[in-house]
Structures are given as structure tokens and as C-alpha cells.
Amino acid sequence: QSVLAQPPSASGTPGQRVTISCSGSSSNIRVNYVYWYQQLPGTAPKLLIYSDNQRASGVPDRFSGSKSGTSASLAISGLRSEDEADYYCTAWDGSLSGIIFGGGTKLTVL
Amino acid sequence: EVQLVESGGGLVQPGGSLRLSCAASGSTFSTYWMHWVRQAPGKGLVWVSRINPDGSRIDYADSVKGRFTISRDNAKNSLSLQMNSLRAEDTAEYYCASEGASCSGGSCFGHWGQGTLVTVSS
């Protein structure tokens, strides 16, 4: 069971904007940075967003991150077929003294 | 840019041991936190362990504490994970990951290897 809660699935049509949520607690998201990763089918994950809302090098500005309180969100605008992937949020958890992942959200582009 | 290549995965019986290695290219290895992250077949990502640049700070997930040991050799640009008392639930793809130019602080995975598969089965 993941400490960070993500919806198991999300979907959208090309050109749409989709948002993926990540819900945590006062021991992780509220006080530590949130990171987002994209995992395309059959490949290693890739860093998308670091420090809550900073895009990693080479990541299109269609991807954006935000955080408020104990929740964070990843938004993808102008959805494209190549965005179909699994998306994971992570953060350090001070109570567990470890890095925790969300369960992942499978994004389908219809 | 750092490139990471894992090796050492394979089939091992329950209770057995295995040692994973990660070879890193580039001159920044000795300045980065390094991690192991695993992914069971068809499941999500799970952080396993991390080690700071000089090896003085090490953390483990509760699920592997006391059974796995992470270590690094900065002179050889290498990271290792010694896995003992392996269980069926340790079956997973194991990824080596590091910080990157975009992220630091010990909790970020800027670069990833391609993974090595560990299967624990009799």
C-alpha cells in the first residue's frame, strides 16, 4: 500500500488538459519536495518535475507541477499520443525516514 | 550526463543471496546521492535504498532493512547492492538511479539505468 495516493488511471483526448493528483500527509508532501516521473511502456522511468514545480531538462512546457498543503498535482496540457505512460509522484517521508512513491497513474490517450 | 548500467540480476532460490552492481560513467558520480529502486512485474515503483556521496549516510526501506546492504566505490564509479535472505516478494526489476544536474538533495532520481531483473523462485 502506497503512502502517496494517486488515481490508478486517467484519460483524455489529444489536445485536452489532464491533471493527476497525488495526496500525502504532513510528514511528506507538506514539508518536502514532490517529484514526478514518467515511465513509458517497457522503459526506465524519467524525471519530469523536481522541487514541486520545476521542469527537468528537455521536458516540454506542456507539463507542469503544483503543490498545496498535503497534495500535489501534475498537469499535462495539449495532450499527445506519446504522453501515454505511467506517472508516479514521490517525496521524502520524515516519519518513515525514506522515499515514498505513489501507486502510479496510467494515462491513456483516447 | 551520467549513464548508469546495472548488472548481476538472475534467478536465485528463496533464502539465497545476490549482488547487484551499477557502473556509472562521467566525473560526477562521486558528488551524487545514489539509489536503488525496484519494480515488481506489473506493479509500481518502490524505493529500496540510498547512499550519500561519501558513503557516510545510508537509508533503507523497512522491507529490506537488515537483509540488503548498499555500498559504493567512488574510485571505480560503481554502486552495489548486496541482497541476502531473498524472498519471493523481492522479485523485481532493480534500477540504479542518481541525482542529476536538475535535482539534488538526496530524494531525486535524475538519471536511471535500464534495470536488471531479479527472480526469487525455487
- In what side-by-side order are the strands of the sheet with A71-76? A18-23, A71-76, A63-68
Kindly determine whether residue B44 and residue A88, on different chains, have CB atoms separated by under 8 Å: yes
Q: Is the pLDDT of residue B116 over 90?
A: yes
Instruction: In whole angstroms, give the CA distance from residue B41 to residue A42.
Output: 11
Question: Among A44, A98, A103, whose Cβ lies nearest the Cβ of B47?
Answer: A98
Q: From the CB of residue A55, how many other CB atoms can be counted at a distance below 10 Å?
A: 18
Q: Is the pLDDT of residue B15 over 90?
A: yes
Cell of B16: 539465497
Picking from B114, B100, B86, B18, the residue whose alpha carbon sits closest to that of residue A57 is: B100
Residues of B in contact with A46 (CB under 8 A): 112
pLDDT tens track for A84-107: 999 999 999 999 999 999 999 999
pLDDT at B27: 82
Confidence grade of residue A53 (pLDDT, cut at 50, 70, 90):
very high
pLDDT tens track for B51-100: 999 999 999 999 999 999 999 999 999 999 999 999 999 999 999 999 98
Confidence grade of residue B103 (pLDDT, cut at 50, 70, 90):
confident
Q: Is the pLDDT of residue A1 over 80?
A: no
Q: Is the pLDDT of residue A2 over 80?
A: no
Q: Is the pLDDT of residue A66 over 80?
A: yes
HSE on the CB side for B101, CA within 13 Å? 8
Question: Which whole number is the average pLDDT over A39-58?
Answer: 96
Residues of B in contact with A50 (CB under 8 A): 102-103, 108, 110
User: Measured between CB atoms, does B1 come within 8 Å of chain A?
Assistant: no
